Structure 1
């Protein structure tokens, strides 16, 4: 029985290593960045509480929202809320749909509107997938500096 447990544990560990080896360095870096973003976003949303952040939505609602077109096409997921020195929301960091490895851009608040999608709230933009793809990558230097502390 002990031998069987050892074999199962070894097999599970081997599968995990093989799965990790299948990811490219860029995919592993994207996974690490996403984990850091989620942690910081959760901390920020908890600190903001139920106070309206932007667009009549709380920070938690913004973080749960998808960025969509007028016809409801999903363009990406809101991953972080960016604030200026005065605490006002200045933009949303969005993970774009169908990018490999993952790619994040900062979408300015101008032109964004909240829309109801069943029980959820999404954020509608006039931008297309091509417009979003043309945006520069979101600046993550502040996030990586915070994580290093």
Structure 2
């Protein structure tokens, strides 16, 4: 698949990478729309790029944590979603077990990862997302209005 990989300040390259592997409890999404957030722009423009360890390796990642897409495949154990569902994504992946998660402050999770930083984000053709981070959309609404 094609993906926009950020290697450093003002160094975004469109490259071919593998479609992410689907694991139990996760879904494979075909990205339909992505928002470019201030965080994305800040890292793109920053003169001192902060290397981030990601699934692609140290210091390179696929941005785009504000995204919506269509479910293309579901992993083992996924029950609330099926192929063809349209979803918007909550990009913070949290453990659900630490004290922060237990009190509902998942954004402070001690072992969190973020789609578009650690995980492949919306500047790719596909990404994988945990089932519980996908929220169904109406099939009648326009993609462009879903992430703004």
TM-score by length of 1: 0.26
Q: Which has the higher strand share?
A: 2
Instruction: Please identify which structure carries the higher helix content.
Output: 1
TM (norm. structure 2) is 0.26
| Bigger Rg over Cα | 1
